[in-house]
Structure 1
Amino acid sequence: MVDNPNEFDSPWKEAIKDYFEDFMAPLEALGEILLDFTTLDDLTAWLTTHTNEQSEGSP
């Protein structure tokens, strides 16, 4: 039994921590990108351009 639940230690602890760090990294990057857009029109224009570039490069 664990005396203090805040001191729980197991092999899963690091695995879970790594999983959430890996999960959060792309979300943090997306947040940084979204901060560059001051209006919805800016974001829409960027998404339209990016989508068009992706579709032109596909066969």
Structure 2
Amino acid sequence: MNTKKTLFTTAALGVAYLLKNKGTRDKIMNSVQSFTSQSKAKKIQWHSLIFISLTKAKKPLL
């Protein structure tokens, strides 16, 4: 438990240090936004594939 707390504290301090600079802050925010948009796109694609496979099933799965 103590190791987890130390790890999160170190990460939080690192993020606070990086967010002080405007250029670094913009780079971090852009990379986070692109990562979240990619993961949302993958999630939407995955859900649509599941929906299509369920609608094309000849007999109910349950």
Larger helix proportion of the pair? 2
Q: Give the TM-score range, shorter chain.
A: 0.3 to 0.5
Question: TM-score with structure 1 length normalisation?
Answer: 0.46
Question: TM-score with structure 2 length normalisation?
Answer: 0.44
Query: Looking at both structures, which has the greater relative contact order when contacts are Cα pairs under 8 Å and sequence separation is at least 6?
Result: 1
